[in-house]
A and B are shown apart, each in its own frame.
Chain A
Amino acid sequence: MTPPRNTLSNLKLPALALTALTLTVLLHALAPRSAVAQDWIVLEGILDVEGWSTDDASRLLTRNDGRPLGSSTLTMWTALRLHAKLQLMALGEVEGEIGAGAFRDAEVGIHQLALRFSASPTLLVEAGKILPPVGIYAGRRLSITNPVIGAPDSYHVNYPWGVVVTGRWGRLDYRTGMVSKPIVHERYLPPPTDRLRPAVGAGVTLATGFRVGGSFTRGSYLNRDMSSAIPDVAAWSSFNQRIIAFDTRFARGHSEVRAEFSLSSYDVPTIDDAVSGKTGYVEFKRTWTPRFFTAFRFEGNDYPLVKLRDTGKWIGKAVLFWNAEASIGYRFSRDSLLKVSYRGDRWENPERNGKAFAFQFSHQFDVMRWLDQRMMGSG
């Protein structure tokens, strides 16, 4: 699910530049004149510029609701070492359409804001606004690591509040915690009311580069405001969502494969049997030369649509949808990447089919390294 954002109407590029400049000057002033010690702070980011040609039905760039034109996204993250084993981290994003030298209708979101305590490799605790512990797609959220441009339609990443404990013993790894949000797709399910729910996951690395894992979560997914449309005998929080997910990654040489598959079921008011769905994707990436790679992702999606109609009746049914995206990537440098991709969407109803062609240029930067170079004269 796309995380909720604060919309800042007509946030101009100069305002963003001024903010960045202020931050830079502040860091400059705080740092010792002779050098920047970088053992306590990380401040990095990625600037993405995208453009696409699409029809109304395509979901290639769903993070912008499929609207045509182009957009740019500035993602920045910081981490501070508060103690040898304690870090404070934050990750935020500004996204807006490109137009007339401004980030038009820019949307600002703080995705992660958490304390990370590393007791040992077997016990790491994260508390705050964090990544969901279910599924592995979150690792592809950064454009630099995503081999295509779009995201799987049913693997939108949300950022719940909560506490998660992770760790590993040899080839085994685990994660368990309590988080505030269910994993929902905003087009298929109503926006949920936050309520704590358990989430667990585990994995085993069978061989170097080959890991299989699974995860599970269960909890309420309806909105409290829908109570009036729910029969008196039940509370909104008694209707549960259950998700069990499986994932695998395999890499060898210049090829990489990853896949996820999940089964979900939903208790729906006025419907006797739980509504179930399934979704999954498989992704291939092949690096042909140090600069050039190709990638392909196929997604099949039989996702449950749960909706309260204007008539006051609930519907719950699975909706079949699949899509495929193929991309070509070219690395100008370690930090700069250009991708072009084509995606086709297919529905049960052919009138909803869509297609899109897109490009994305990504540049990663490191503010502390830049400051360091300015001060050390190694620019």
Chain B
Amino acid sequence: MRPFLFVAGVITLLPAALPWACAAQTSGQVPPRASASGTGRIEGRITLSPALSTDRMRFRPYGDFGRGQFPTERNEPANPFARVVVYIVSPTLSGYEAQEQRPPASISQSNETFDPHLLPVLRGTTVEFPNDDDIFHNVFSLSAPALFDLGRYPRGESRSVVFDDVGVVAVFCDIHSDMSATVLVLDNPFFAQPDAEGRFLIEGLPPGDHVLTVWHDRVAPIEVAASVAAGQTTPLSIELPPPSEQMNRPGSLWDRH
């Protein structure tokens, strides 16, 4: 009877122990860390066309009475560069850890908008979705990398999602169709968002030839070649959308993603 109980116990506990054993093995493979020594950086500036510098008009044909019937207007114009992310795509950089601790990722529901509208995160990041409005919102996504519905919760409460798969995750509110956000889940920490003047900086890059992708939710992603040398800065100047003569040109680096 005892051998039977032992075998049964092993069979029962084995599935539970396997993930722990695998995790321990994985944690032994320390991913490379982007360090300042022996690396280079890309410093660039993005120029947006006037059309990309405007927000979409907000309109609800059938709103529920009370707050939320008509969309709230912004008090000040949004930073148009907040809709842009620049990032490096390279299988060799996969698994790099961030050089610096990034602030906790969060998209709030505030003034009947998702803020920020675009959030780039490293794969595995947990993103909080706090409700800062007095009305209820619904947070959901049907995108392949992250399928979720957080339901509705009151002001002061938050729900979170762990983004494990790389890709573009479109986030919406089921109640207010003009509310949307995008979470860009990336494979390495070499990404940045431009400041209010369009300037961006990506540091700690291993020397070599890289391809920088520029992502905007209204423009097809474009790719720009950038050679990085140790201890040096590679300057870039990028126009969005790219001049038409450079778009879809065979062999061009301006290409659909």
For the complex formed, measure the closest distance between the CB of B246 and the CB atoms of chain A, giving whole angstroms: 11
Q: Closest residue of chain B to A38, judged by CB?
A: B56
Q: Is B67 a contact partner of A139 (Cβ separation < 8 A)?
A: no
In the assembled complex, which residues on chain B have CB atoms less than 8 Å from the CB atom of A170? 134
In the assembled complex, which residues on chain A have CB atoms less than 8 Å from the CB atom of B256? 377
> Taking the complex as formed, is B131 at the interface, i.e. its CB lies under 8 A from any CB of chain A?
yes
- The segment out of A19-27, A59-67, A250-258 that lies at the interface is A250-258
In the assembled complex, which residues on chain B have CB atoms less than 8 Å from the CB atom of A141? 62
Distance in angstroms between the alpha carbons of A310 and B72 in the assembled complex: 54
Q: Closest residue of chain A to B71, judged by CB?
A: A118
In the assembled complex, which residues on chain B have CB atoms less than 8 Å from the CB atom of A158? none
> Taking the complex as formed, is A289 at the interface, i.e. its CB lies under 8 A from any CB of chain B?
yes
Interface size on A, residues (CB 8 A): 65
Distance in angstroms between the alpha carbons of A42 and B220 in the assembled complex: 22
Q: Closest residue of chain A to B55, judged by CB?
A: A39
Q: Is B220 a contact partner of A376 (Cβ separation < 8 A)?
A: yes
Q: Is A251 a contact partner of B140 (Cβ separation < 8 A)?
A: no
- The segment out of A207-215, A319-327, A344-352 that lies at the interface is A207-215
Q: Scoring B residues 48 to 66 as 1 if CB is less than 8 Å from chain A, else 0, what string do you get?
A: 0111101111110111111
> Taking the complex as formed, is B224 at the interface, i.e. its CB lies under 8 A from any CB of chain A?
no
Give the most central of B54, B153, B218: most A CB within 10 Å. Answer: B218
In the assembled complex, which residues on chain B have CB atoms less than 8 Å from the CB atom of A207? 154
A-B contact count (CB 8 A): 142
Distance in angstroms between the alpha carbons of A333 and B174 in the assembled complex: 12
Q: Is B59 a contact partner of A87 (Cβ separation < 8 A)?
A: yes
Contact of A376 among B61, B62, B241 (CB under 8 A): B241
In the assembled complex, which residues on chain A have CB atoms less than 8 Å from the CB atom of B50? 35, 37
Give the most central of A41, A168, A364: most B CB within 10 Å. Answer: A168
For the complex formed, measure the closest distance between the CB of A112 and the CB atoms of chain B, giving whole angstroms: 7
Q: Is B131 a contact partner of A208 (Cβ separation < 8 A)?
A: yes
Q: Is B219 a contact partner of A252 (Cβ separation < 8 A)?
A: no
Contact of A208 among B58, B63, B149, B155 (CB under 8 A): B155
Q: Is B49 a contact partner of A253 (Cβ separation < 8 A)?
A: no
Q: Is B218 a contact partner of A203 (Cβ separation < 8 A)?
A: no
Q: Is A81 a contact partner of B142 (Cβ separation < 8 A)?
A: no
Q: Is B64 a contact partner of A252 (Cβ separation < 8 A)?
A: no
Known: A205-B67, A334-B142. A145 touches B62 (CB 8 A): yes
Q: Closest residue of chain B to A35, judged by CB?
A: B51
Distance in angstroms between the alpha carbons of A365 and B134 in the assembled complex: 29
Q: Is A41 a contact partner of B57 (Cβ separation < 8 A)?
A: yes
For the complex formed, measure the closest distance between the CB of A128 and the CB atoms of chain B, giving whole angstroms: 13
Known: A35-B241, A254-B149, A377-B241. A139 touches B64 (CB 8 A): yes
Known: A290-B142, A377-B241. A89 touches B56 (CB 8 A): no
For the complex formed, measure the closest distance between the CB of B92 and the CB atoms of chain A, giving whole angstroms: 28
Q: Is A378 a contact partner of B57 (Cβ separation < 8 A)?
A: no
Known: A38-B54, A42-B59. A252 touches B149 (CB 8 A): no
Contact of B52 among A35, A252, A334 (CB under 8 A): A35
In the assembled complex, which residues on chain B have CB atoms less than 8 Å from the CB atom of A203? 65-66
Q: Scoring A residues 128 to 165 as 1 if CB is less than 8 Å from chain B, else 0, what string do you get?
A: 00010000101111101100000000000000000000
Q: Closest residue of chain A to B148, judged by CB?
A: A290
In the assembled complex, which residues on chain A have CB atoms less than 8 Å from the CB atom of B51? 32, 34-38
* B:206-257 near A, CB below 8 Å: 218-220, 241, 244, 247-248, 256
> Taking the complex as formed, is B141 at the interface, i.e. its CB lies under 8 A from any CB of chain A?
yes
Contact of B54 among A37, A87, A211 (CB under 8 A): A37
In the assembled complex, which residues on chain B have CB atoms less than 8 Å from the CB atom of A116? 70
In the assembled complex, which residues on chain B have CB atoms less than 8 Å from the CB atom of A378? 218-220
Chain B residues packing against A (C-beta within 8 Å): 49-52, 54-59, 61-67, 69-70, 72-73, 131, 133-136, 140-142, 147-149, 151-155, 170, 172, 174, 177, 218-220, 241, 244, 247-248, 256
Chain A residues packing against B (C-beta within 8 Å): 32, 34-42, 77, 79, 81, 87, 89, 91, 112, 116, 118, 121, 124, 131, 136, 138-142, 144-145, 166, 168, 170-171, 173, 175, 201, 203, 205, 207-209, 211, 213, 249, 251-254, 256, 287, 289-291, 331, 333-334, 364, 368, 372-373, 376-379
A37-B51, A42-B57 known; 18 other A-B pairs, CB under 8 Å? Answer: A38-B56, A38-B57, A39-B56, A41-B57, A42-B59, A87-B59, A168-B67, A173-B67, A208-B131, A208-B134, A209-B136, A251-B136, A251-B152, A290-B141, A368-B56, A372-B218, A378-B219, A379-B220
Closest 10 CB pairs of A and B: A35-B51, A208-B154, A209-B136, A39-B54, A378-B220, A290-B149, A79-B59, A173-B66, A254-B151, A253-B151
